[in-house]
Structure 1
């Protein structure tokens, strides 16, 4: 948010609900409403945080599919020229390397991409 505020850029907040790799049997078991509800909660929190920073230009969207493909499509459609992505790891090892989606984006996207990890809580 600091970069967007300092440069006057539009902050695009994008959340991808990963559904692209699920087979038809799995899709039937998952409740799409629950996935959408959780995505809406995440986006509401993110937009409220951005608004609290007094950003004037904020766009938000929720997409469904394969994360790296949906992120790339969104960035092309909106002519994004710099991306900052949040990333998280599931294991101790992954703390020291980028996750699969982040790594693919950093390696293959034709624009500057930074990634940040949420600070660990002290709980």
Structure 2
């Protein structure tokens, strides 16, 4: 059965843009794009390296707004609309919670490889690996 509600987590990377393109081309259903802003004091944000001041919070909020606006434009270019959401938290945990709380039945996301030890993490990236491993729904990883 085809999905009724697809979630596309966006992080500003080209692979995330490709994931949105794939979702819009492949699924004729409700699509929500989600940008997760990591807390400024977490290791996954620039705040983990730099002082978390008000300027950093504003910059993170502005970046999130720009990402979801760009997603709306990308959808409009193919005569589609997307719902948008911005949440704060650990990216993988927040994506998984969003799936549970919003009747998501498919996730399409970009995968990021990197210089990590485990093969799956190298192929997919840590957030994608966690979502693939723990999501109660089908996950498509775009590479």
Q: Same fold (TM over 0.5)?
A: yes
5 Å-filtered alignment, 1:1-123, equals 1-5=24-28, 9-19=29-39, 22=42, 28-29=52-53, 31-56=56-81, 58-91=82-115, 97-117=123-143
> Max radius of gyration: which structure?
1
Provide structure 1 residue ranges, at least 5 long, that are not aligned to the other structure. 118-123
In structure 1, what is the equivalent of residue 16 of structure 2? none
* TM-score scaled by length of structure 2: 0.67
Q: Report how far residue 97 of structure 1 moved.
A: 0.8
> Residues 20 and 110 (structure 1 numbering): CA distance in 2 closer, same or farther, change over 3 Å?
farther
4+ residue stretches of structure 1 with deviation over 2 A? 23-30, 87-96
RMSD: 2.9
User: Do 1:21 and 1:66's aligned partners in 2 also have CA atoms closer than 8 Å?
Assistant: no
Provide structure 2 residue ranges, at least 5 long, that are not aligned to the other structure. 1-23
* TM-score scaled by length of structure 1: 0.77
User: Do 2:112 and 2:123's aligned partners in 1 also have CA atoms closer than 8 Å?
Assistant: no
> Residues 86 and 109 (structure 1 numbering): CA distance in 2 closer, same or farther, change over 3 Å?
same
